[in-house]
Amino acid sequence: MESKLNYDAIETYVKAYSSKLNDSLFSENESITGEKILDIPVSQVGLLVLNRIFETWSLEAEKLKSPYFNYESDAVRSNMQKLMNVLSKNILVSRIDFEPMLIRSVHDTLLLLVSPYTYYKILLEKKDTNIKMLEGMDKFVTINKGVLSKIIDKLESSAELIKDPHALLNTVFSNLDDSPQSNDLEFKKFAELLPVNEADFYLAVADDPVLQSYEFKDEDEDEDILASNSEKTLNDSFVADSHETVGDTLKSSQKVNTLKSMLSINQKFMFINDLFNDNQEDFNKVLDFLESCETKEVAVSFINNNYLKHNIWNANAPQVKDFLKLLDKKFS
């Protein structure tokens, strides 16, 4: 399910953005407070920095434990929590200590935006990742928050899945019903400090066979294609639950919803993985093209000519039927 990410472009932007942000944050002070961290324009970046601070503190607290005292007693646990509350209001980090945490947090925020599957796969493959740590992260993750919640829920019912991140994530992403969060606002916040283009974070395709092979035809030619008995057309191959073809059921050309707004997270990752060979850029290009189609005939002809007729997609595959039903909703 991983998208083909341009890691070099991500790293380049992370370093440049982090440097500019550091210069801004430490322009007047040698250290930064917790309140200032929370004021970072991209709030997810600040929250991930705070999560790292608290994780580090937890590890240090474990090292302080002595075999001569009962750290599990209610009194000790209560006072340790009070100490944590006091410390959380008195965070003070120097630039030299803050900088590596910021770089990591900017990197993780970008992954959460462009490929949450990749972010969680990397996280779950770390040896020290456990359900307690994930539960501690829950209040620090705001981007597509439902993904982390589902991971935690799944591990609570089947803890052994922590040993198989691939199976865990496939299960989680195949059962997500939430709509994917729009990245536009977060990238606008990034762009306030350093211009950013989300498309740069995906590997470019030298020759895009889908978009380059499509040629507009007049309506008569489109109708001939759809009616042809000698070709495997969209009308011939796809039969909806009502036994009507897409050509029959796309009754109206009026656009009520955008395709992206109708997608669930589950559908998004299923389509990218199964229909677009893990290439999110191709997926986005095709969705943008279909979004621009003024009539059902143009959209149907595009799918037929570029995918079904050349057997790139199997019209009877569940993923293809789901994609076509989504297209059906757009024009209904």
Every domain of the chain and the residues it spans = 7-201, 209-331
CA end-to-end span of the chain: 30
Return the half-sphere exposure (C-beta side, CA atoms, 13 A cut-off) of residue 141.
26
What crossing angle do the helices spanning 145-157 and 165-173 adopt, rounded to 10°?
120
Do 262 and 326 contact (CB within 8 A), yes or no?
A: yes
Q: What would the pLDDT profile of 7-46 be if each residue is shown by its tens digit?
A: 999 999 999 999 999 999 999 999 999 999 999 999 999 9
How far apart CA 314 and CA 319 sit, in angstroms, is: 9
For tokens 């796309």, the residue is: 250
Q: Distance between alpha carbon 263 and the CA centroid of its chain, in Å?
A: 13
Q: How far is CA 19 from CA 12, 14, 24, 129, in A?
A: 11, 8, 9, 29
What pLDDT, in 10s, does the model give residues 218-277?
Answer: 334 444 433 443 344 444 433 334 344 444 434 333 444 678 777 777 678 778 878 887
Q: What is the largest CA-CA distance in the chain?
A: 87
> Cα-atom radius of gyration of the chain, to the nearest Å?
25
Residue 49 has which token pair?
């920095």
Burial class (CB in 10 A: 0-12, 13-18, 19+), 289: middle
Q: Does pLDDT of 177 surpass 80?
A: no
* Residue where the block lists tokens 């989300």: 198
Say how many C-beta atoms besides its own lie within 10 A of residue 200's C-beta: 14
- C-alpha span between 198 and 113 (Å, rounded): 9
Reported as a single tens digit per residue, the pLDDT across 290-320 is 887 777 777 877 888 888 877 788 888 878 8
Distances (CA, A) of 283 to 37, 69, 199, 261: 36, 58, 12, 14
The pLDDT score that the predictor gives to residue 109 is 96
Tokens of 250: 């796309």
3-state secondary structure at position 78: helix
pLDDT of the residue at 181: 67
Q: Which pLDDT band, with edges at 50, 70 and 90, does 97 fall under? A: very high
* pLDDT for res 35: 94
**pTM score, two decimals?**
0.67
pLDDT, mean of residues 116-142: 91
Among the listed residues 32, 63, 37, the one whose alpha carbon sits nearest the alpha carbon of residue 50: 37
Q: What is the mean pLDDT of the chain?
A: 80
Whether residue 147 contacts residue 120, with contact meaning beta carbons closer than 8 Å, is answered with: yes
The per-residue DSSP string of 258-271 comes to: -HHHH--HHHHHHH
With a pLDDT cut of 70, the percent of the chain lying above it is 81
pLDDT band at 62 (very low <50, low <70, confident <90, very high): confident
The pLDDT value given to residue 115: 85
Answer for the pair 324, 245: CB distance below 8 angstroms, yes or no: no
Check residue 323 and give its pLDDT.
Answer: 86
Pull the structure tokens for residue 143.
Answer: 């981007």
Residue 67 in this model has a pLDDT that exceeds 80: yes
CA–CA gap between residue 240 and residue 247 (Å, rounded): 11
